[in-house]
Amino acid sequence: MIRNLAADIQVFTSNVFLIEGERTVLVDPGANFDVVTRLEEAVDSLDAIVLTHTHPDHVENTESVASSFDVDVWGHDPQHPLVDEQIADGDVIQIGDHEYHAVHTPGHKNDHLCFYAESAGILFAGDLVFGGGGFGRTDLDEGDRPTLVRSIERILELVDEDLGVLHSGHGPSVTDRPYEDIEMAYRMARV
């Protein structure tokens, strides 16, 4: 089961995905709201926190969740003070009931990762791409448009047209032909 704990929050935060199953994981703890209480209402325990990247709107709640649930934080940059365990490009990690391939996708931020479960047809895209053809900002520190375009192209090569769902860092998840939204983001980012 995948739930966005920030779905009805009216503050600036990322989406906060709770994935229950064999390994219950929180993808991006978000910011500016009490995610710990929402987690406590939803689950008794948590196995890990996984970060798509370390922009503040995605990670501000990390320390409170990690201490409340006594879990490690997994992310791409082992030098970042919030990251306990590194996820390298190409690593396979268990999230919920599925194995996800970690894909290093810089361009929005240097430590950005996407997570793809081919067997389940699920992509966690962070701020790389969004529904409707949107894509991550490149005007922030570490942003770079040509690098972002290459990262989107890499995701297009990895997923196929049967992708079932795209969970992005902001906005609603896409369940109706999400591959087309990624293609549209690629075209728009190249302009």
**pTM for this entry:** 0.97
| C-alpha atoms less than 13 angstroms from C-alpha of 84 in its C-beta half-sphere | 12
Structural domains in the chain (count)? 1
CATH number, domain of 171, equals 3.60.15.10
pLDDT score recorded for residue 126? 98
Closest alpha carbon to 85 in 59, 60, 49: 49
Extract the residue ranges of the chain whose pLDDT is less than 70: none
pLDDT digits (tens, 9 = 90+) for 46-85: 999 999 999 999 999 999 999 999 999 999 999 999 999 9
Q: Domain range holding 26? A: 2-190
Q: Per the structure block, which two tokens stand in for 117?
A: 């479960």
